[in-house]
Amino acid sequence: MCAGSAQKVRPAGAATIRAMATATAPLRELLQQAFPDATELDVQDRTGGGDHFQVTVASPSFAGLSLVEQHRLVYAALAAPLADGSIHELRISTKGTQ
């Protein structure tokens, strides 16, 4: 019985991983388009629900900009999913590079 339970858990885990990757892919694309020179770009689905994200972007585009200005650029890049409710919560980490 335990062995059968373990087998049922594995497909659910794989499905969850696929769903998380599916949720982050459109955001990653938008950020790659907005910051083609990014040296670091990461999008994580923080809860597995597909609407709470942590994004990290390091880009020379941020050099000389305040943190608020950097975050505004990220918000602008993700304006569509923010407006349509695809993103419920967004945590942003940015840094300028040289």
| CATH number reported for the structural domain that contains residue 31 in this entry | 3.30.300.90
pLDDT of residue 9: 43
* Model confidence pLDDT, tens digit, residues 23-57: 899 999 999 999 999 999 999 999 999 999 999 99
Look up the domain containing 38 and give its range.
Answer: 2-96
Distance CA 71, CA 62 (A): 9
Instruction: Write down the pTM of the prediction.
Output: 0.79
For 5-23, b/e burial (b = at least 16 CB within 10 A) is eeeeeeeeeeeeeeebeeb
The Cα–Cα gap between 57 and 76 comes to 13
Residues 6+ apart with CB under 8 A from 15: none
Check residues 52 and 97 and name the one with the higher pLDDT: 52
Q: What mean pLDDT value characterizes the chain?
A: 86
How confident is the model at residue 89, as a pLDDT?
Answer: 96
Residue type, 30: L
State residue 23's pLDDT score: 86
CA atoms within 13 Å, Cβ hemisphere of 64: 2
What is the C-alpha separation between 95 and 13, in angstroms, rounded?
A: 33
Q: How many domains does the chain have?
A: 1
Angular region, 29: left φ>0, alpha ψ -120 to 50, beta rest = alpha
pLDDT above 90 covers what percent of the chain?
Answer: 72
